[in-house]
Amino acid sequence: MDLRSGCPLWPIRDGLPAAYPALGADAACEIAVIGGGITGALAAEALSAAGVDTLLLDRRDIGWGSTSATTALVQYELDTPLYRLAAKLGEMRAVECFAATRAALASLDALALSLGDGSGYTRRPSLYLASRASHARALEREHEARSRHGFPVELWDRRRLASRMPFERAAALFTEDAAELDPYRFTHALIARSAARGARIHDRTEVVGTDLEAGRRASRRVRLVTGEGHAVRARGVVFATGYETQARLRQPAVSLQSTYAVASEPVPDLSAWHRRCLIWETARPYLYLRTTDDDRVIVGGEDDPFLDPRRRDAALPRKAARLARRFGRLFPGIAFAPAFSWAGTFAETADHLPFIGRHPDYPNAWFAAAYGGNGVSFGVLAAEIIRDAVCGKRHPAEALFGFDRPER
């Protein structure tokens, strides 16, 4: 699948941090990870840290798929508000989902700290805006639901928001629990550390055949075949293939969407932007904004249903121009000079939650399908859940995101 178009900021700014050899011979391992984006990199890091013999394959260069196009706003807040998720899943289950993603953010903090400056990771607050005055009541309900269950959050009225930002809205939710990162650099840092532990990394290696029941009675029960005809035998396989995972699943698990983003030249003065917080809104599809560690602004949104790459690509100039104008209306005092614009494909599930774990149609396999706007947080959860399963443990969040989870 053609996952992106245009000129994403990250790989152009960062270059190629490392290259890895294509698989040139048959191989054996304990766990094979298919996918070298941020989710696969998180899985390989977690598995190698646990002492699992890990081999990772990707048909592209590392981080070159949808990871290179994500805007990487890292939040525990889900695209479905807590009070609405509670109506769909039941209150306690919804709270557990929010708590799991908040715990994933804490895990990501520790992981980024251990990687040092190579991670491109910075903690930022998050500001969730009422797009229209009529949405203020929904934010009040969300504030009450989160506060009742111990999630730290502030409800800002129009006056308080205007005292901190150069624009007005009827209401907003403010939380300290969010972050921004360079997903491409972060992915390469994770891969480099996994490789240093002994994980074998092979990019430019496409898996064209999978036999997940090969040698069921033997110790190596999975057989993967590459485009060059080499075989990989493993005890299990992790599919971290992002939005291309849907092609393997019989059930209609997701809907594909196109999203658009534009990044500015470095901005000399961002003091009007309160603590450079992440910004998003209640409208659907929503506008989202962040800054970068080299003082650029990234604006994203204008989502529409994915039809085909040509239509998405043709819409990019118009969408990028509209995003730049929308930023100007929010921050009229910040000169926004567009430098990079790109489009990407993402997937949504009906409940806006990921699919993580085993699938009844695929023995000896785990899926790390970090679908939705919380892809990085979901990727951390997937890595932890799958690592624990491989090591014979049960992660407390495993039942929340499985294929067999109850739906309403």
Domain with 32 in it: what CATH number?
A: 3.50.50.60
User: Do residues 345 and 258 lie in contact, with contact meaning Cβ atoms separated by under 8 Å?
Assistant: yes
Tell which residue, 94, 106, 101, has the closest CA to residue 145: 94
User: Do residues 36 and 241 lie in contact, with contact meaning Cβ atoms separated by under 8 Å?
Assistant: no
In sequence order, which ranges of 149-235 are alpha helices (DSSP H)? Answer: 158-162, 183-196
Q: Rounded to whole angstroms, what are the CA distances from 163 to 128, 223, 309, 338, 393?
A: 16, 60, 43, 28, 49
Looking at the structure, do residues 243 and 359 belong to the same domain, yes or no?
Answer: yes
Domain with 337 in it: what CATH number?
A: 3.30.70
Q: What range defines the domain where residue 201 resides? A: 4-69+184-252+352-400
Residue appearing with tokens 């891969």: 191
Given a cut of 60, is residue 215 above it in pLDDT? no
pLDDT of res. 237? 96
Cα distance between residue 23 and residue 25, in whole Å = 6
pLDDT of res. 250? 60
pLDDT of res. 220? 55
Looking at the structure, do residues 375 and 243 belong to the same domain, yes or no?
Answer: yes
pLDDT of res. 370? 87
Given a cut of 90, is residue 372 above it in pLDDT? no
Confidence of residue 40 (pLDDT cuts 50, 70, 90): very high
Inside any domain, residue 60: yes
Given a cut of 50, is residue 3 above it in pLDDT? no
Given a cut of 70, is residue 296 above it in pLDDT? yes
pLDDT of res. 253? 58
User: How do residues 102-122 score in pLDDT, each as one tens digit?
Assistant: 999 999 999 999 998 778 899
pLDDT of res. 251? 55
Tell which residue, 397, 401, 346, 350, has the closest CA to residue 372: 346
Mean pLDDT value across residues 361-383: 91
Give 291's strand partners.
297
User: How do residues 258-285 score in pLDDT, each as one tens digit?
Assistant: 889 999 999 999 999 999 999 999 998 8
Residue 255 neighbours by CB distance under 10 Å? 14
Q: Rounded to whole angstroms, what are the CA distances from 120 to 112, 123, 189, 264?
A: 8, 10, 10, 18
Tell which residue, 336, 320, 274, 255, has the closest CA to residue 79: 255
Looking at the structure, do residues 232 and 302 belong to the same domain, yes or no?
Answer: no
pLDDT of res. 396? 92
Inside any domain, residue 80: no
Last residue of a domain, one of 307, 329, 348: 348
